[in-house]
């Protein structure tokens, strides 16, 4: 199932919004539109907020998330909360994308037992199946863009700080962001408009250069969005697609011709110079571990209702390991075990120097260096390998459908052996990467590409 819990108030909310429409009191262009939100985004109503786990069932946040407040203020109807990869894929070393204890295993819609990717798995599948006009996901590393590509939809991972994370179950305060998932670029842009903006309850949003005067993201959706743009290709990152990525690479190369014909200049070999060092370094994962240790303790302390008196990650791990519904040890707590063993939080003396070292992988040695050295507006990559470097520096990504694995593609299973990652008909995407706060330009580029290719409309489900 894609939805872990329906909003029992949704019908009454819809009736009230209809009355407002009749009285010509529209709250905005999305008045009365349905939206689903990931089960990490707190609402102060009858719905649970559990990160897909029974461990947090029965807890109650002290306030509603800013994102949920903004959605309601703009007249959207929160239909319910979507299933997800439990704890945003930050619990287990041997679980599977789209599985959570509260809702079981979710599948994508393009091949039997298809891996839906994650962790915003339910938001992606529900959007693809038109269970809602669009959905909200969260991303730390790939959790919006990866399930979006696997389910043939558009996903926007905003700059960290463009959207508030207040009362969203945290993973890493330096990397977490909340973003829209939709069938089209324009619909995603409209939803981004509704949830973006400063929030005094999330200091990261106060770094935004826009304040309350956001760009008009919908207006950026123009066929001319690629004209005059310089777009780079970091070939050394493409090398990591491997032999089984040949269909993706072929479609990607064809996409560069579309982009050129739309008026952009392609600049090749704009490499991420420290990429191989990044892949070998343990420090990016330690930054996430330190942030999670501090962030989850703060979230637990903020709860209005905490029936099991959870205080920290050790408490959550203990409960999880002793709850049969959590399928431990078949699905282990290996990530948490490593986090606890690291013994670091984001106030530890070792943390800040380590964090500064990891920034190099995304700055001079990564995306920002490539953009600066080559005077680029954006970089493009297959979505499968696009999310790790932007995560380090909190920069935006937008993914658009690119194609699907062709007939004859050998079936490839995930490590657990219960999901199919590659098979004929399973979709993949292309991502546009830019500097912080460049969503307006990226949306324009993605829209211009989308409208020239219309891949989503060409891919059909095979079962």
250 by DSSP, 3-state: which? helix
Q: How far is CA 323 from CA 83, 119, 185, 293, 329, in A?
A: 19, 22, 41, 22, 10
Q: What are the helix (H) ranges across 196-333?
A: 235-238, 246-261, 275-280, 283-302, 313-321
Concatenate the DSSP letters of all residues of 432-454 into one string.
EE-STT-HHHHHHHHHHHHHHH-
Q: Which residues are bridge partners to 430 per DSSP? A: 382, 400
Opening angle at CA 399, ends 376 and 36, nearest 5 = 140
Residue 196 · residue 162 · CB < 8 Å:
yes
Q: What are the helix (H) ranges across 112-263?
A: 121-128, 145-150, 185-195, 235-238, 246-261
d(C-alpha 109, C-alpha 124), whole Å: 10
From the candidates 65, 119, 148, 438, which is the catalytic residue?
Answer: 119
- Tell me whether residue 387 is one of the annotated catalytic residues: no
d(C-alpha 239, C-alpha 252), whole Å: 13
From the candidates 38, 81, 157, 186, which is the catalytic residue?
Answer: 38
CA atoms within 13 A on the CB side of 242: 3
Computed from CA positions of residues 192, 195, 199, 201, in that sequence, does the dihedral angle turn out positive or negative? negative
The first and second tokens of residue 416, run together, are 């657990």
Which residues have CB under 8 Å from 332's CB, separation 6+? Answer: 92, 93, 94, 95
Output the furthest CA–CA distance in the chain (Å, rounded).
60
Q: Which of 139, 146, 130, 141 is nearest to 178 (CA)?
A: 139
- Tell me whether residue 244 is one of the annotated catalytic residues: no
From the candidates 51, 85, 96, 143, which is the catalytic residue?
Answer: 143
Q: What number of other Cβ atoms are within 10 A of residue 73's Cβ?
A: 11
- Tell me whether residue 119 is one of the annotated catalytic residues: yes
Catalytic residues: 38, 119, 143
């Amino acid at each position: 199932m894609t939805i872990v819990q329906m909003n029992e108030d949704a019908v009454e909310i819809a009736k009230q919004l209809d009355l407002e429409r009749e009285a010509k009191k529209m709250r905005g262009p999305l008045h009365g539109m349905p939206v689903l939100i990931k089960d990490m985004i707190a609402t102060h109503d009858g719905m649970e907020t559990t990160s897909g786990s029974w461990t947090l069932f029965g807890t109650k946040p002290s306030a509603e998330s800013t994102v949920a407040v903004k959605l309601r203020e703009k007249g959207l109807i929160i239909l319910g909360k979507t299933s997800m990869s439990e704890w945003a894929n930050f619990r287990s070393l041997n679980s599977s994308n789209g599985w959570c204890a509260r809702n079981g295993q979710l599948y994508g819609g393009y091949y039997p037992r298809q891996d839906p990717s994650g962790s915003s798995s339910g938001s992606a599948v529900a959007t693809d199946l038109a269970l809602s006009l669009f959905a909200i996901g969260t991303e730390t590393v790939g959790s919006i863009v990866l399930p979006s590509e696997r389910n043939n939809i558009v996903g926007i991972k905003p700059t960290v700080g463009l959207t508030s994370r207040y009362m969203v179950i945290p993973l890493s305060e330096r990397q977490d962001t909340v973003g829209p998932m939709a069938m089209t670029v324009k619909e995603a842009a409209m939803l981004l408009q509704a949830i973006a903006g400063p929030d005094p309850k999330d200091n990261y949003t106060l770094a935004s250069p826009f304040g309350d005067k956001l760009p008009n993201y919908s207006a950026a959706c123009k066929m001319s969005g690629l004209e005059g743009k310089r777009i780079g290709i970091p070939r050394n990152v493409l090398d990591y697609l491997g032999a089984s990525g040949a269909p993706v690479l072929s479609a990607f190369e064809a996409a560069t011709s579309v982009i050129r014909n739309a008026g952009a200049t392609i600049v090749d070999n704009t490499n991420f110079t420290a990429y191989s060092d990044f892949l070998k370094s343990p420090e990016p994962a330690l930054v996430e571990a330190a942030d999670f240790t501090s962030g989850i303790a703060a979230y637990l302390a903020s709860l209005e209702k905490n029936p099991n008196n959870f205080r920290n990650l050790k408490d959550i791990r203990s409960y999880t390991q002793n709850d049969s519904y959590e399928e431990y040890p078949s699905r282990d707590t290996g990530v948490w075990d490593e986090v606890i063993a690291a013994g670091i939080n984001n106030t530890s003396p070792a943390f800040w120097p380590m964090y500064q070292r990891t920034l190099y992988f995304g700055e001079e040695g990564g995306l920002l260096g490539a953009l600066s050295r080559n005077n680029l507006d954006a970089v493009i990559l297959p979505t499968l390998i696009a999310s790790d470097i932007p995560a380090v520096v909190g920069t935006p990504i937008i993914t658009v459908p690119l194609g699907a694995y062709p007939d004859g593609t050998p079936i490839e299973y995930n490590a657990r052996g219960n999901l199919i990652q590659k098979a004929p008909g399973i979709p993949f995407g292309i991502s546009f990467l830019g500097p912080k706060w460049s969503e307006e330009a990226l949306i324009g580029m993605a829209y211009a590409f989308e409208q020239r290719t219309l891949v989503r409309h060409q891919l059909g489900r095979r079962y």
